[in-house]
Amino acid sequence: MKLYSTNNKDLRVSFKEAVFNSMPQDKGLYMPVEIPQLDTEFVQNIEQYSLPEIAYQVASTLLKEEIPAEDLRALINDAINFDAPAVQLDDKTFVLELFHGPSLAFKDFGARFMSRVMAYFLKDGEQLLDVLVATSGDTGGAVALGFLGVPNTRVTILYPEGKVSPIQELQLTTNGENIRAVEVKGTFDDCQALVKQAFADRELNAKFRLTSANSINISRLIPQTFYYFNTYAQLKKQGFEDVIFSVPSGNFGNIGAGLLAYKLGLPVKQFIAATNVNDTVPRFLESGVYETRPSTQTYSNAMDVGAPSNWVRIMDLFDQDVEAVKKMVTSYRFTDDETLEGIKEIDKNLNYVACPHTAIAYLAIEKYRNENPADNSAAVFLSTAHACKFPDIFPAEIAAKIEIPVQVKALESKPKHADQLGIDFEGFKEYLLKG
């Protein structure tokens, strides 16, 4: 598997190099030179396969000779050791539950796969691998648990002060060992900017072996394709052929993975990018003008991204053809008030408790159906995080229905530790140099 930069299509690097370098020096993002097609017979009979079997088939098609077959199979079986059920809520509506991993968020797929890939490639005696990650909520917890105890690695997680939920913060700040948390007096966009500046800094790169665990890393994106194929398999087993996915979208890595799956051969009729008021992409698809703005804090905090990094990958997948993107991607935005109403509506009509991100994906399905009444496709909205992570958002009668997982209860007894920094890069650089 060879990869190029979205800023330089003549560049060629190996998968291993892209995983460890994370982002090219030209500040583009790595993309595969070739997107191979999955075997047609496999896709036609996909309902016969389990999630790990599907994951192996997809990964081996993309990675080819990068990792020997048996090693890759063992890596996947270790990383993807939890379910992702598509729960049917009515005749043609499903919720894809992606919160059954250890951090209770969809990002466990990417973080666990990536940490195992990095551990596989790391050799004894090599320089310590410094993993930098910015989080708006769930990424940090997934990365922390994915890398906790992995030899020869150190993880630095940047998160915005006061803009993650209490449970999310505990997941970031109570790990110890090779995981350290940094509370930044700013927004997620500020955290992300600090990480990107670090990768472009010559002095830091000369001293440290830096890589990222954000969705800018291609090894985060690949495993997220697994659950799109697995969901299609679950629906196909029930007789559904036409499928629409509604994806809560912040940094656009999740829907980017879905579109990569589509390019690999996944039969999908439509993708819906569901955002909160941080609506850079909906505005772009409406006006043709791509204009980023400072992020705004919302109830759906993992989507509070004003400058979504992965949008460049999506445009690259479609050769910068805006009209081609618009045919495959519809996008809607929703306010916090609408999100709360969505939570209540799902509870009342479908007897399901949805986190605010999930509620936005549901609202997008309903809006799409209202605008396309003749479309009878099965609709899947992605539930990206467990509702227990957002206790202060729910009305009391809905909050009472949330079951608190054992691992969350265990967090409450652990001491929190986080370093505090401002948004200036020199301060962050000094922090890193001090080790």
Residue range 306-357, pLDDT digits in tens: 999 999 999 999 999 999 999 999 999 999 999 999 999 999 999 999 999 9
**Set 92, 107, 196, 236: catalytic member:** 107
In this predicted structure, the answer to whether residue 391 has a pLDDT above a threshold of 90 is no
In this predicted structure, the answer to whether residue 377 has a pLDDT above a threshold of 90 is yes
Helical packing angle, 356-371 and 336-350, nearest 10°: 80
DSSP state of 296: -
Residue 14 — pLDDT band, cuts 50, 70, 90? very high
Residue 233 — pLDDT band, cuts 50, 70, 90? very high
pLDDT at 336: 97
Interatomic CA distance for residues 213 and 345, integer angstroms: 35
User: Is 107 among the catalytic positions?
Assistant: yes
Percent of the chain whose predicted confidence (pLDDT) is above 90: 80
In this predicted structure, the answer to whether residue 125 has a pLDDT above a threshold of 80 is no
Residue range 57-98, pLDDT digits in tens: 999 999 988 999 999 999 999 999 999 999 999 999 999 999
Question: What is the DSSP track for 120-175?
Answer: HH--TTPPPEEEEEE-SSHHHHHHHHHHTT-TTEEEEEEEETT-S-HHHHHHHHS-
Q: Which CATH architecture has domain 83-106+220-406?
A: 3-Layer(aba) Sandwich (3.40)
Question: Which tokens sit at 71?
Answer: 């090693």
Q: Closest Cα partner for 273 from 294, 234, 245?
A: 245
Residue 8 — pLDDT band, cuts 50, 70, 90? very high
Interatomic CA distance for residues 435 and 430, integer angstroms: 9
Residue 80 phi, psi (nearest 5): -100, 70
In this predicted structure, the answer to whether residue 392 has a pLDDT above a threshold of 90 is no
In this predicted structure, the answer to whether residue 137 has a pLDDT above a threshold of 80 is no
